[in-house]
Amino acid sequence: MDNPDKPLIYLIVGARPNFMKAAPLIRALEERAPEIKSLLVHTGQHYDYEMSKAFFEDLDMPDPDIYLGVGSGTHAEQTAKIMISLEKEIFDNRPDLIVVFGDVNSTLAASVVASKLMVPVAHVEAGLRSFDRTMPEEINRIVTDILSDLLFTTERDAIENLRREGIPDEKIHFTGNVMIDTLLTFADKARKSDITERLGLSDRNYAVLTLHRPSNVDVPEVFDGILEALAEVGKNIPVVFPVHPRTKKRLAEFGFLDKFSSDFRTPPAERGILLIDPVKYTEFLALEMKSLFVLTDSGGIQEETTFLGVPCLTLRNNTERPVTLEVGTNILVGTDPHRIIEESAKILRGEGKKGAIPELWDGKASHRIAKIIKTKMEEQK
Ligand code: UD1
Ligand code: UDP
């Protein structure tokens, strides 16, 4: 039976990019701090098999201990539903700490609820700023950080951002990037994946595309321009496009599926845009690793491509991850079709951006975090 005096922590996950961040910390806490009882709480923000359960299986994660099942909704609806359900859980079980990841609505909702119940909050991936408050994630980042007691950062710019916002130094810990812990743990499994063969793609002879930012896919003119550019790129190299559920909905709603159907190919892919469902982590990692380049508006994918040394064209005007520009392989190309086509052509000519691996992206971030959490729990006794 569990010792009732064991410190209890909740790890809160909800959306796809949370799972690969939580997985290594669950393992590191088990190894480094077995005296702590951790419960995994899944808000249910993402719920389709390929957006959620597939990651638990692929990353050998335990099933969630608590599932809130909130589902989709407007920002207020989704955030409120998480807050109502989580408040009850926290009230009943009184965890000693909650750990939140990244910048999604589940991160914000959990931080607010825990703070008001006087439960300390640890934020993994703190301090990132795009300085663009039209992005819902920027609001989530700012609020979560101001409420957090332990702020774990992935890059040095984040430390400066937090200082500027008045967060005291003793709360900030530069621990590195947990996504890279997961990437290194699963790199072998990814290398062995047969996804490229199944899709008829040959190594370094295709590009990967992901899109899901509302500013890109919810505005028909912007989305249309991007797809137009991609159709051009696809004349020279196949582009494999695992389609996020938000994006799938918009493609249908805006009638773009018909418009572009002549460019869609089924395997084997020689050129054109190959639409597929979202894939599990190790398959996506395999696609990234073996590609010539990646086009994306994702946050995490900018980091993975930098680590892998694969050129990344980010279809946004800003990034909260400047180290990927300064040190890594990332270039901001925005959404201007000409620029997307031009930068893709450069890579096809062999002029892709080269980069290096950022500081502390070494596979040990989750162990550094576990150590700090362990100390915090000892101090709180
Ligand atoms: C969310 C995060 C975003 C993150 C992205 C990662 C917020 C504000 N946004 O955006 O930061 O980059 O996840 O993927 O937290 N849907 C499904 N099935 C699912 C999940 C969603 O069909 O399993 C559809 C629903 O129509 C839903 C829409 O996708 O309305 C958007 O989902 P939501 O979680 O609100 O935002 P994302 O765009 O996924
Ligand atoms: N990813 C995945 N399958 C896909 C697309 C992405 O496993 O079909 C992974 C990707 O490798 C990265 C993470 O999902 O680890 C990024 O999540 P996402 O782009 O949804 O969110 P963001 O990082 O923009 O918040």
- The first and second tokens of residue 21, run together, are 């961040």
Ranges 60-69, 177-186, 208-217, 267-276: which has the least confidence: 267-276
Ranges 37-46, 57-66, 180-189, 223-232: which has the least confidence: 223-232
pLDDT digits (tens, 9 = 90+) for 195-240: 999 998 999 999 999 999 999 999 999 999 999 999 899 989 999 9
Please name which ligand lies nearest the alpha carbon of 178: 2
Please name which ligand lies nearest the alpha carbon of 78: 1
244 in active site = no
In the predicted model, what is the mean pLDDT of residues 252-261? 80
The pTM of this model reads 0.97
DSSP 116-152: HTT--EEEETTT---S-TTSHHHHHHHHHHHH-SEEE
- Nearest atom of ligand 1 to the alpha carbon of 249: 26
With a cut of 80, say whether residue 245 has pLDDT above it: yes
249 lines ligand 1 (CB under 6 A): yes
User: Which residue out of 46, 123, 173, 212 is catalytically annotated?
Assistant: 212
With a cut of 80, say whether residue 259 has pLDDT above it: no
pLDDT digits (tens, 9 = 90+) for 152-161: 999 999 999 9
In this structure, what is the dihedral angle of CA atoms 99, 211, 288, 230, given to the nearest 10 degrees?
A: -170
Query: For residue 141, which of 320, 301, 9 has the smallest C-alpha distance?
Result: 320
Q: Provide residues with CB under 6 Å of ligand 2.
A: 16-17, 20, 210, 242, 278-279, 281, 284-285, 298-301, 304
Ranges 86-95, 113-122, 135-144, 264-273: which has the least confidence: 264-273
Ranges 59-63, 110-114, 219-223, 259-263: which has the least confidence: 259-263
3-state secondary structure of 263: helix
What distance in angstroms lies between residue 380's CA and the mean position of ligand 1's atoms? 36
The enclosing H or E element of 367 equals helix 365-380
| Half-sphere exposure in the Cβ direction for 255 (13 Å, CA) | 2
